[in-house]
Structure 1
Amino acid sequence: MDLRQIKQALVLSETLNFHRAAERLHMAQPPLSTAIRKLEEELGVTLFERLPSGLRLTPVGDTVLRQMRNTLFFADEIRRAASEGERGEQGKLRVGFVGSAVYSLMPRMIRAFRLRYPRVDLVIEESTTVELLRRLEEHSLDVALVRYPILERSSASVVLLQPDPMVLAVSTDSALAARDAVDVTELGATPFIVYSRTFVPAMYSMTMMAFHEAGIQPPIAQEAVQVPSILALVESGLGVALVPATAARQAGDGVKLVPLTGMPQRLDLGIALVTLPETVNATTRNFVALAREIMPGPPGAPAPTAC
């Protein structure tokens, strides 16, 4: 018994006439009669009672045909799932992201992706850039939104989606809070809260590079891992910090973000999308294409590269 025989039996059950069923199936009547007879012999039951006035489903035939309809439905579902999977419209997509992406990119991208590909199961995880790159290399993530530029060695393809320059976070009772802008060269004696050298090495290196380029070496008051922790320490008056501009959404009433001048252009930050070219599937390609459609990047943004 195969799907072709099942379809023939179902069409015959709807017409109860070999001639009309054969026309609908675009085949001759004798081969259809032969196929139904072989199907009945294989099942060991009579599906259709042959009467002078035509055909009639037997009670067992009615039961069998109901199951055949289910079988044909699930066969069609399997074909559809295979087709949608090939086009990236069904399956699972594992997306990693850094915390700062949740304030701008993530809500827009996830909402748009769910609307366009509702049959894709999204698994979303937050971590640091270092950890996300490691997970990508281990193939436990398909795509990730990370901090740009990426200083770690990686074979990932990188697409800059959104620039996010550094600004100066100060407590509102600091004299710097009254300024419209601060030149980084003025901060040589100001205590700083910086990203953890161990857990956020890229951001730590970016901060140290900014100091080096400005020719200053301010005292380090504290290291922290996450932007909210850094902002809380700034608010407590422990020091100031260089943070991404998107941190404005996380800053409390006791923190002000002041624009910086004198920052080297090559130290500008951003949010980038990373994938491993050799493991990209159709679902991942759809996510990348949608991300570039929503966030085409700034003028002159770099094309996909490998780190």
Structure 2
Amino acid sequence: MELRQLKQLLVLSETLNFHRAAERLHMAQPPLSTAIKKLEQELGVQLFDRLPGGLQPTPAAQVVLRYARTTLFYAEEIRRAAREGASGEQGVLKVGFVGSSTYSLMPRLLSEFRRDFPRVDLIIEESTTIDLLRRLDTHTLDVALVRFPVLEPTAARVTLLQPDHLMLAVPADSHHAQRDDVALSDLAEEPFIGYSRTHVPGMHALVMYAFQQAGVVPRIAQEAIQVQTILSLVESGLGVAIVPAVARRHAGSNVRLVRVSQLADTIKVGIALAVHPDNATPTTANFVEMACRLMRSEPAAMDTA
């Protein structure tokens, strides 16, 4: 039994006339008659009663037709899925992200991708930059939004999407809160909330390097992994912290972000798109192309500086 035969059966059941069915199928009538007879022999049932007024589907044909329609539908779905899969219009995309990418960038990227590729199933997972890079290298993620700059060794290609700079987060009642600019040397006696050297080694190294350049050894009171956690600790009065400027959109009312010119002018940070070069699936390529296109078309929106 072939799909071609099922289609011929379906058309014949609609026209109930071999001549008209053959015309719709763009074939001669004798081959159509032969094909239907072979199908009847293969199934072991008669599908049509040949009456003086035309053809009449038998009860057996009614059952066969129901399954034939379903089979042809799923056959077409398979063809469409293959076409869309080859073009990246259907499939699964595993996206990893760091928490700070959710402030503005990730929702915009996912919304745009969902609109352009509604048949792609998105699986999103939050983690740290070091873990996301590891998962890209082991091919358990397709793409990842990671903190920039990437200081960890990785085979992934990294493209900066959302430039940013660092600012000082202080409690609203801090004597630094009303200042326009704070120097790192002013923080020598402040309890400092830093990034975990184990889980966020890149940001930890970056901030500690900045303090070292300023000749300051920060008094570490607490370490955390996520920016939102750090902001909560600042709001609780446990200390001050260095955070990306984009975090001000979600800082609590009892937190102030103050410019640190030494950081804003010398250290560029942000959110970057990381992709392993071996991951050349059409779906991944579509996401990368879309993200880069969005970056080019909306530079003002992407730039939080």
Q: TM-score scaled to structure 2, two decimals?
A: 0.92
1:96 maps onto 2:103 in alignment:
no
Query: What is the CA–CA distance in structure 2 between the aligned matches of 1:27 and 1:236, rounded to whole Å?
Result: 80
Q: Which runs of 5+ in 2 are unaligned?
A: none
Query: What is the CA–CA distance in structure 1 between the aligned matches of 2:46 and 2:238, rounded to whole Å?
Result: 88
Q: Give the CA RMSD over aligned residues.
A: 1.9
| Deviation for aligned residue 1:284 | 1.2
Query: What is the CA–CA distance in structure 2 between the aligned matches of 1:163 and 1:55, rounded to whole Å?
Result: 72
Partner residue of 1:130?
130
1:78 maps onto 2:82 in alignment:
no
Q: Which moved more, 1:73-82 or 1:208-217?
A: 208-217
Partner residue of 1:247?
247
Give matches, 1:205-284, under 5 Å.
205-263=205-263, 265=265, 267-284=267-284
Query: What is the CA–CA distance in structure 2 between the aligned matches of 1:252 and 1:72, rounded to whole Å?
Result: 57
1:172 maps onto 2:172 in alignment:
yes
- 2:165–2:263 contact (8 Å) kept in structure 1: no
Q: Which moved more, 1:28-37 or 1:49-58?
A: 49-58
- 1:163–1:298 contact (8 Å) kept in structure 2: no
Q: TM-score scaled to structure 1, two decimals?
A: 0.91
| Deviation for aligned residue 1:237 | 3.5
Partner residue of 2:25?
25
Q: Which moved more, 1:107-116 or 1:147-156?
A: 107-116
Deviations 1:31-81 (A, max 9, x none): 111111111111111111122332221121122122111111111111111
| Deviation for aligned residue 1:298 | 5.3
Count residues with an aligned counterpart.
300
Matched residue of 2:147: which SS? Answer: strand
Query: What is the CA–CA distance in structure 2 between the aligned matches of 1:100 and 1:173, rounded to whole Å?
Result: 25
Deviations 1:202-231 (A, max 9, x none): 000010121223333333232222223322
Matched residue of 1:267: which SS? Answer: coil
Q: Which runs of 5+ in 1 are unaligned?
A: 302-307
Query: What is the CA–CA distance in structure 2 between the aligned matches of 1:180 and 1:143, rounded to whole Å?
Result: 38
**1:163/1:90 Cα in 2 relative to 1: closer, same or farther (>3 Å)?**
same
Query: What is the CA–CA distance in structure 1 between the aligned matches of 2:22 and 2:144, rounded to whole Å?
Result: 55
Query: What is the CA–CA distance in structure 1 between the aligned matches of 2:12 and 2:254, rounded to whole Å?
Result: 78
Matched residue of 1:178: which SS? Answer: coil
**1:19/1:43 Cα in 2 relative to 1: closer, same or farther (>3 Å)?**
same
